Amino acid sequence: MRQRMRQSHTSGDLANLTTVPSDNIGPFQQAQAQKLVTRLRIALSQLPPQEAQVFCLRYLNDMSYRRIAKELNIKTTTAGVLLHRARAKLRYLLEKADVT
């Protein structure tokens, strides 16, 4: 996943997930947030590359569907479909990680 992310335009953004804002949160909440970040990074690595890229562009770079489509040279509707699939798979993977 690191290699995929380095090749994309979001190379530095995933690394920023390791930092948890400390604005009025205690150690327990910070530990929970860090655990979620770790689980999200693992789940992202299990997605197909284009789905992971669309997810990162949308939620880490705060790009619109239209801008993502332009960046990846795909249709806007395709960006939406890929994002929908990525969210569904991430939801499943994160829920599965809670059970195990």
- The CATH number assigned to the domain holding 45 equals 1.10.10.10
Other beta carbons within 10 angstroms of residue 26's beta carbon come to 9
pLDDT, one tens digit per residue, over 26-60 is 888 888 888 888 888 999 999 999 999 999 999 99
Q: Which pLDDT score is estimated for 70? A: 96
Report whether pLDDT(18) > 80.
no
Domain count, the chain: 1
Count Cβ atoms within 10 A of the Cβ of residue 78 and give its class: 0-12 exposed, 13-18 middle, 19 or more buried: middle
Q: Name the residue range of residue 67's domain.
A: 2-99
Report whether pLDDT(9) > 80.
no
Task: For the full predicted model, state whether its pTM sits above 0.85.
Answer: no
Confidence of residue 100 (pLDDT cuts 50, 70, 90): low
In sequence order, the 6+-apart residues with CB closer than 8 A to the CB of 42 are 93, 97
Counting residues of the chain whose pLDDT is more than 90, the rounded percentage is: 52
